[in-house]
Amino acid sequence: MLPNDGADAVEHPLRQVGKSLPHESATRHVQGSALYIDDLPEPEGTLHIAIGGSPVARGRIVTLDLEAVRSAAGVVAVLTAADIPGKNDVSPAMGDDPMFAETHVEFVGQALFAVVAETRDAARRAVRLVKSQFEEDKPSITVEDALDRNETVLPDYAFGRGEPAKALTEAPVKLSGQFRIGGQEHFYLEGQVSFAMPGEGDEMLVHASSQHPTEVQHVVARVLGIPDAYVTSEVRRMGGGFGGKESQASQWAAIAALAARFTRKPCKLRLDRDDDMMLTGKRHDFRVDWQLGAHADGTIQSADISLLARCGYSADLSQGVVDRSMFHADNSYYLPDVRVSSRRLKTNTVSNTAFRGFGGPQGMLAMERMIDALASATGRDPLDIRKANFYRPGGEHTPFGMQVEDHDVLHALVDQLERSSDYRARREAIDAFNRESPLIRRGLALTPVKFGISFTLTQMNQGAALVHVYSDGSVHLNHGGTEMGQGLFLKVAQIVAEEFGISMDRIRVMPTSTGKVPNTSPTAASAGTDLNGMAAMLAAKAIKARMTAFAAETHGVDPAEIVFRDDMVAVGQLTLGFGELAKACHAGRIHLSEASHYKTPKVVWDRANAVGRPFYYFAYGAACSEVAIDTLTGEMKVERVDILHDVGRSLNPAIDIGQIEGGFVQGLGWLTTEELVYDDKGRLRTHAPSTYKIPVASDIPVDFRVALFDGANREDTVYRSKAVGEPPVMLAISVYSAILNAIQSLQPGTPVPLNAPATPEEILKAVQALGGGGGF
Amino acid sequence: MTRSTISFLRRGQRVDIANPDPKATLLDWLRLEERSTGTKEGCAEGDCGACTVVLARERDGQLVYEPVNACILLLGQADGADVITIEDLAEKGELHKIQSAMVEHHGSQCGFCTPGIVMSLFALYHEGKASVDRPDVNEALSGNLCRCTGYTPIVKAALQALADPATDQFDAKAEETLEAFKQFRQLEDVFVGNDEAFFAAPAAESSLAYLIQKYPDATLIAGATDVGLWITKGLMPLKRLIWLGRIKGLAAIEETELTLSFGAGVTHQMAMPRLAALDTDFGELARRFGSRQVRASGTVVGNIANGSPIGDWPPAFIALGASVELRNGFSNRSVPLEEFFIAYKQQNREPGEYIRRITLSKPGPNDHIRLFKVTKRRDEDISSVMAAFRITVEDGLISQARIAFGGMAGIPKRASAAEAAIIGLPIKDISTWRAGAEGLTADFSPLSDHRASAEYRMRVARNLVIKALAEIAGVPSSSTRISGLREVSHAAE
Ligand SMILES: Cc1cc2nc3c(=O)[nH]c(=O)nc-3n(C[C@H](O)[C@H](O)[C@H](O)COP(=O)(O)OP(=O)(O)OC[C@H]3O[C@@H](n4cnc5c(N)ncnc54)[C@H](O)[C@@H]3O)c2cc1C
Ligand code: FES
Ligand code: FES
């Protein structure tokens, strides 16, 4: 039996869990007193690092002349691959990410050397004095380049069921198409930064802005050639992560550690924003080739979806990312005969990596795009096509064989949103508007999200915590999760406070440290609270059980009559302060500390045979968006958005709504204004916020209605909550579909050639393809 | 009289800096020297707002609070101001109203953008508006990126905190601050450094003329919203800097019945109400120019002087009819704006010459103004195409046309073929609109870049001719636009 207070909660109303408490650092955030790594006081003698990167995308290094760099003002050391005592490898798994390129370069910006100098300015200036020569090779930039060369970073992979090829030829409605999905820069507001402090002997303490302190520890140890136990990696908070600091924070931490080891001084590496954008990976961009077969009424018979992912120069996390695209290429729809295949293509661009949704958004967008095409071809309302194809009794199995047990949640949620957003009446109003409006067109779409929760690499589904109760009744809370703004620290603290029946201010949430909680999983896959919250609850329960037993024995009452509430402990007729009891326990030689561990039940996934249950449960949501487009310029405006999202029983509704709104807006940027443009030499042309445009306040619809779906997680998660970090990103697909819908109005039935992101230029191109875009 | 320190107020105290690196930014001074790390660096190029601080200055006897991007503002540009940072807002442990509203509405997640956002809202709070609505908040935040929250809770916090303008500790000591400003005497020149490397901030045009003659290679800076990036991104080793911001005379706005002129010190924000009064499209374009922070520092003349082919004001001003006044020592000359731009990065400006002011002809009663800025993102973005029209219609016929484009050539340029194609034709005929669009083909052959392809630019430019003429012919903008409608004036003024 798993510990769960779900039933218990009915009898004892919750005091902390379920409350909209503000972020644990909110008052410090607003005063500028929350410290990020670059804000930590710098010990005397702190040195600063800048990176020298490759100017070419593919080729052999002929000369790397660093003389002028070394002799530049303020320079203390210049480090290259030759200075690495351990392995020149900062990859998460595959051994294919050198910290510094040695003989060949594989993308523009790839690190060649690091300058360590007295000031950051001196380091940056010295970098530019390098004289290097390369024997250039023609780079692979696009999916097509990689296909021509047949170069991949990992083997192809596919799964499916039935005979899709045969079913496709027999289907009454046959559709096929190809479209492109752009990547996305994380644009965490705090860029990559690490601060390494050398200790005694080989010891190294690294403050890294990382979602994965354990990997930072491992990579630093690997690069320095020392055991893991000599490296401590610590993270108090990040100024945003979004996946971009999962595997790709390690390199900067390792370079800082190498510099610290080399100079015996504290060394800090903070990437300049433009460097950050050129040197770190992004959301994968895709080409999708698809075929769909359906009955005349629009129910899908068969689908063949081929996902061609541009992975960049190395594997990084592309195995899991593209797998997740495949796992979500069904979104919410039952596909009887189906094949989902993928290729992980190697290009001479930065290695693409985790980004909120971890490939899921691309797979899901592909499917929604196909559904819209099907609606157009059959002349039916897209929402009707969606509903007709939802998972349902008799159609419950995903293309990877997992049963969708709670599809009734999806149906109920979409029905509720359809009503609350007034979808049908607005559809009519929009049709009427479009009939009278040659230049401005409106579109409406309601799209669902079904997102699998758990790491698809089963071993990562574990969390751990370390809780101390001090003899004054204050609580020290450590767990393996990192805080990047998502409110994890607060949620876990709420859980622990609830367990002990104490107020929040008794709990001190500690920075995440590999020295406190070892061998952690990254804070990713939306699983931070599920794993660490549960682990912390187990630790608190264990301590509480010992305190209870002690009190019961001391005062001769039945343990069942001991209640922890409002900072007090009722022991039969007697009431003690929580601190009082803690003190008494200590005097009674009761252990008030607990390290605990939790592993997600039920998940198994055999990738080779594509069987199992990769996800513990699904999180559901849906969004209804309305847009207007200008057919003369392709400009677009989001007029209204309604969201209904399933977070199970919310641990903190304000935090959850914040994740939903923020995730939606991030998805909105991905699908509309955020465009990564590489030139034919492999240089990223949009490497700064001046050219890469994430949403600003005025991009948010004024009419924006967000609600939580009422329902408990049917699986036994912490307080029956559901993960919320990633799924909301995909709610923004409704905007993309609404744009498609607006363009479609120009010529119903004709395929709309719209790629993502739907920039004004992309929209205008599609408008022209449907005979519009010329004015009156 | 010359002062040899950069001097400003910090928490009521005077700070004097005698030997700064002339190109040091205010952000580096705050974070690295003063060690106030509440103000963040998110991009070091003026686009994210994490570094936003507020400068308070005296203007017409009042304290004026403006947000600036400390990352690209040179330390010397803070001279004479009260420099207010995020650390200064709470008083004796009690949060400022903006701060507590942000906490209450869950306006921070990772918190990294938060100090900048709070400072932008703090500046809005001190704008003294009677009421603040959603567009005001959006406008105040157009230069602040937040990647976590999606802005909604921030907007809610702002609307609550700004609902009733209460006074805060800064209002309470406004008199004191104004009094303290007197010590930075307005008439004294500032010269910090030596012959080799200096930051000079002359107080009068005569001193400026002297400095330019003595140091012809010195870099002039107005708002530094361009020059700042040469330093932080280009790492240009600029050594001799002359800032125009302290010359009172250059900050003048002069208006006659027929003309409107802006001196070289006039910022976009200062110019905004006057421009908005010319036409609602001018108000909208001003509102969309950069961000509130960029408008507070950047100057109208700087936007001409930088010679950018994608600047927003040049096409708009060329369409109106404008002339540039240049000064060399004590001699002046004037050139029509369209003749000022010669070729890409080449302007009609001699060494030693600076732009003194720009003068616009105001539209007459039969003139119709239309301005369209097409960007990937609506706010705070650089134009892919910028189109500007002044069309004179008499008795239903187009009697005069001035059409200019940005983003279509190496310089901001008039579309003379398109103009010629429509003159004398009836405004109401669709064939006139099409003729104008067709004319453009002879005017431009635009380039492709990361903002837009050549095909897109050409297509949009043609369509904008149609849109402009259709609107002038009477098609309401509610059926031609998705935002910036002319019927509902968005300008706050
Ligand atoms: C975030 C951001 C957003 C922006 N958005 C826009 C936008 O929306 N539209 C747009 O058009 N531009 C935009 N810009 C560009 C820039 O801010 C503007 O062009 C601005 O008007 C430049 O003015 P400034 O006073 O800051 O110029 P500075 O940077 O001070 O100077 C620019 C150039 O002009 C020279 N100069 C300045 N004044 C004079 C003078 N009086 N005589 C001779 N030479 C002089 C300088 O030496 C320098 O070469 C943006 C910039 C940033 C950083
Ligand atoms: S740091 Fe981004 S605007 Fe200054
Ligand atoms: S709260 Fe993270 S960027 Fe705004």
Task: List Cα–Cα distances, A584 to A471, A559, A570, B41, in angstroms.
Answer: 8, 16, 14, 49
B87 in contact with chain A, both atoms CB, cutoff 8 A = yes
What mean pLDDT is predicted for residues B108-134? 96
Summary mean pLDDT of chain A: 96
Nearest Cα of chain A lies from the Cα of B378 at a distance, in angstroms, of 7
CATH code, A8-34+462-599? 3.30.365.10
What mean pLDDT is predicted for residues A29-36? 98
pLDDT, residue A298, reads: 97
Task: List Cα–Cα distances, A724 to A68, A447, A720, A774, in angstroms.
Answer: 51, 17, 13, 44
The letter for the amino acid at A619 is A
User: Nearest Cβ partner of B106 from A187, A188, A658?
Assistant: A658
The pLDDT tens digits of the residues spanning A357-396 come to 999 999 999 999 999 999 999 999 999 999 999 999 999 9
pLDDT, residue A569, reads: 97
pLDDT, residue B185, reads: 84
What mean pLDDT is predicted for residues A195-224? 98
Q: How do the domains of chain A map onto residue ranges?
A: 8-34+462-599
pLDDT, residue A12, reads: 64
What mean pLDDT is predicted for residues A321-328? 98
The pLDDT tens digits of the residues spanning A499-536 come to 999 999 999 999 999 999 999 999 998 899 999 999 99
The pLDDT tens digits of the residues spanning A78-113 come to 999 999 999 999 999 999 999 999 999 999 999 999
pLDDT-based confidence at A2, cuts 50/70/90? very low
Q: Which ligand is nearest to the CA of A189?
A: 3
Instruction: Show which residues of A are catalytic.
Output: 726
Nearest Cα of chain B lies from the Cα of A733 at a distance, in angstroms, of 16
pLDDT, residue B186, reads: 83
User: Nearest Cβ partner of B152 from A191, A694, A700?
Assistant: A700
pLDDT, residue B489, reads: 55
Q: With CA atoms as reference, report the closest residue to B318 among B265, B381, B368, B389.
A: B389
pLDDT-based confidence at A6, cuts 50/70/90? very low
Minimal Cα distance from B149: which residue of A? A662
Phi then psi dihedrals of residue B53, to 5 deg: -125, 170
Q: Which ligand is nearest to the CA of B144?
A: 2
The length of chain A, given as a count of residues: 776
* Beta pairing partners, B69: B52
Q: Do B150 and A484 touch (CB under 8 A)?
A: no
Q: Which residue did the predictor score with more confidence, B130 or A665? A: A665
pLDDT exceeds cutoff 60 at A562: yes
A691: left (phi over 0), alpha (psi -120 to 50) or beta: alpha
Contact B389, B414 (CB under 8 A): no
Contact B5, B192 (CB under 8 A): yes
pLDDT-based confidence at A5, cuts 50/70/90? very low
The pLDDT tens digits of the residues spanning B368-379 come to 999 999 999 999
Q: Do B149 and A661 touch (CB under 8 A)?
A: yes
Q: ipTM score of the complex?
A: 0.97
Contact A19, A487 (CB under 8 A): no
Q: With CA atoms as reference, report the closest residue to B11 among B24, B32, B30, B27.
A: B30
A11: left (phi over 0), alpha (psi -120 to 50) or beta: alpha
Pairwise CA distance, residues A503 & A480, whole Å = 23
Query: How far does the centroid of ligand 1 lie from the alpha carbon of residue B307, in Å?
Result: 9
Using alpha carbons only, what angle is made at residue B309 by residues B303 and B311, rounded to the nearest 5 degrees?
35
What mean pLDDT is predicted for residues B194-212? 96
The letter for the amino acid at A566 is D
B92 in contact with chain A, both atoms CB, cutoff 8 A = no
The pLDDT tens digits of the residues spanning A698-748 come to 999 999 999 999 999 999 999 999 999 999 999 999 999 999 999 999 999
pTM here is 0.97
Query: How far does the centroid of ligand 2 lie from the alpha carbon of residue B398, in Å?
Result: 46
Pairwise CA distance, residues A722 & A300, whole Å = 30
Quick one: angle between helices A653-671 and B152-161, nearest 10? 120
Q: Structural domains in chain B?
A: 2-87+175-243 (3.10.20.30), 92-167 (1.10.150.120), 250-361 (3.30.465.10), 367-479 (3.30.390.50)
pLDDT, residue B345, reads: 87
Task: Say whether A520 sits in a helix, a strand or coil.
Answer: coil
The pLDDT tens digits of the residues spanning B132-167 come to 999 999 999 999 999 999 999 999 999 999 998 778
Instruction: Tell me the two tokens of residue B310.
Output: 């994608």
pLDDT, residue A776, reads: 79
The pLDDT tens digits of the residues spanning B430-482 come to 999 999 999 999 999 999 999 999 999 999 999 999 999 999 999 999 999 99
pLDDT-based confidence at B493, cuts 50/70/90? very low
